[in-house]
């Protein structure tokens, strides 16, 4: 008999609340945290709004670890579990951290500070800057390592850096570790701390950000995403305890198509969804927490793939994305999607797609607009699709 991965605890830090209950309540009311960036000068940036976390980790060298630790403590306390340290694993989606702005500026100046990179000068001048770059602050693995130490987890410790699919893929690997009996408990999730000048400039140069400063997934007027940040964590366990939900299906695939664009046919996305549904032994679900980035191509491709996978059964599956309210958490996005799906199961409340006013006919889906939709939800599908074509889908069901 297959071992199940029961959900024993959840936690989050977001720009709408420093825990999951306050975040979910604000999302249900249709609130949005997207606003003009105030903590650094955004004049001249392609997009001047974001959804930053306020009230914690301000000025911290590595805000990823601060967000992740707070969310993980919330989830761990709710789980109330005791397990042998070697039977506890940690599976985290995270990208690299960054050196401080002053260090990045000094490195740029060491290379000449102009349009041409002076390799000779950089080789000489950058050496003295090396001690200012803390490996623990820039390593993707620093977050998982810190959490393993905090919770005395001595089982497998994995970091997945798959851009927007990182958090969901980490949860998928935690589920698989429980099924293989490698662990009895898995702390899983994702974190992003990307509201900073480098990421706004980088995504802006790629043309991925909304020039209007509006995140509106699946809307006819969408023109890109808005950067957000936060952490979402979940504690999974083989022991059911008082769990009300389990992760019944996981699916991962690769487009093998392009670094920054999805396969226009959406076949990789569809493959991940089908795999997750097959594992869960389901052909239909009651709701879908979509990846829904608010970019032209991604939203259209995801809508096409959903229609192809669910067919006529899509009519009963209300679809939403919370990126219109919280921005795009990148490595944390898929884990946030899972918490939204669990909320739908446990509260009978599907969170709305903030910003969606005029649904694009090419993205025709049973959308949830305005405020939360109340209905009984027994199963939900979660999508996370990333640069590089890495796709992850999860299916959660009532326990």
What's the distance, Cα to Cα, between the start and end of the chain in Å?
Answer: 16
CA-closest candidate to residue 373, choices 66, 28, 104: 28
CA–CA dist 5, 239 (Å, integer)? 8
The DSSP string of 195-217 is -SHHHHHHHHHTT-B-TTS---T
The single residue of 188, 287, 328, 343 carrying the catalytic annotation is 328
CA–CA dist 157, 174 (Å, integer)? 10
CB neighbours (10 Å) of residue 369?
17
The single residue of 164, 188, 287, 363 carrying the catalytic annotation is 164
The single residue of 291, 318, 343, 367 carrying the catalytic annotation is 291
3-class SS of residue 95: coil
CA–CA dist 269, 255 (Å, integer)? 8
Phi, psi at residue 196, to the nearest 5°?
A: -145, 165
CA–CA dist 282, 395 (Å, integer)? 9
Examine the residue annotation and report whether 318 is marked as an active-site residue of this protein.
no
- Distances from the Cα of 132 to the Cα of 113, 187, 195, 237, angstroms: 19, 31, 22, 40
Residue with tokens 């800057």: 129
Examine the residue annotation and report whether 291 is marked as an active-site residue of this protein.
yes
Laid out side by side, the sheet with 287-289 consists of: 157-160, 88-93, 185-193, 229-237, 6-13, 245-254, 390-398, 379-385, 287-289, 318-320
- Distances from the Cα of 326 to the Cα of 52, 135, 157, 252, angstroms: 9, 29, 28, 25
Reported in sequence order, the residue ranges of 72-226 that DSSP labels E, i.e. its strands, are 88-93, 157-160, 185-193
Examine the residue annotation and report whether 343 is marked as an active-site residue of this protein.
no
Task: Please list the active-site residues.
Answer: 164, 291, 328
């Amino acid at each position: 008999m297959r071992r199940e991965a029961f959900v024993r605890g959840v936690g989050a830090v977001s720009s709408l609340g420093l825990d999951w209950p306050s975040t979910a309540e604000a999302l249900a009311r249709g609130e949005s945290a997207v606003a003009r960036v105030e903590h650094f000068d955004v004049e001249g940036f392609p997009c001047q709004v974001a959804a930053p976390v306020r009230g914690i980790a301000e000025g911290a060298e590595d805000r990823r670890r601060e967000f992740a630790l707070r969310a993980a403590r919330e989830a761990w306390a709710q789980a109330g579990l005791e397990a042998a340290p070697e039977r506890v694993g940690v599976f985290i989606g995270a990208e690299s951290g960054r050196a401080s702005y002053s260090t990045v500026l000094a490195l740029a100046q060491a290379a000449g500070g102009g349009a041409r990179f002076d390799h000779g000068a950089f080789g000489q001048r950058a050496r003295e800057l090396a001690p200012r770059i803390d490996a623990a602050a820039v390593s993707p693995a620093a977050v998982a390592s810190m959490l393993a130490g905090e919770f005395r987890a001595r089982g497998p410790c994995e970091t997945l850096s798959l851009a927007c699919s990182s958090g969901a893929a980490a949860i998928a690997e935690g589920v698989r570790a429980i099924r293989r009996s490698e662990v009895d408990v898995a702390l899983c999730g994702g974190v992003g701390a990307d509201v900073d000048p480098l990421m706004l400039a980088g995504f802006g140069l790629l043309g991925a950000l909304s020039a209007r400063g509006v995140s509106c997934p699946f809307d006819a007027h969408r023109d890109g995403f808005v950067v957000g940040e936060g952490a979402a964590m979940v504690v999974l366990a083989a022991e059911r305890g008082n769990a009300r939900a389990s992760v019944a299906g996981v699916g991962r695939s690769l487009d093998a198509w392009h670094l920054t664009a999805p396969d226009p046919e959406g076949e990789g996305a569809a493959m991940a969804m089908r795999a997750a549904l097959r594992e869960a032994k389901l052909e239909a679900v009651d709701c879908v927490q979509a990846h829904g980035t608010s970019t032209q191509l991604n939203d259209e491709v995801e809508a096409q793939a959903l229609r192809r996978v669910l067919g006529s059964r899509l009519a009963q599956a209300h679809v939403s994305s919370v990126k219109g309210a919280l921005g795009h958490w990148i490595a944390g996005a898929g884990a946030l999607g899972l918490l939204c799906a669990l909320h739908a199961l446990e509260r009978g409340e599907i969170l709305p797609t903030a910003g969606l006013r005029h649904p694009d006919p090419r993205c025709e889906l049973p959308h949830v607009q305005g405020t939360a939709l109340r209905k009984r939800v027994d199963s939900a599908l979660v999508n996370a699709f990333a640069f590089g074509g890495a796709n992850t889908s999860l299916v959660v069901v009532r326990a």
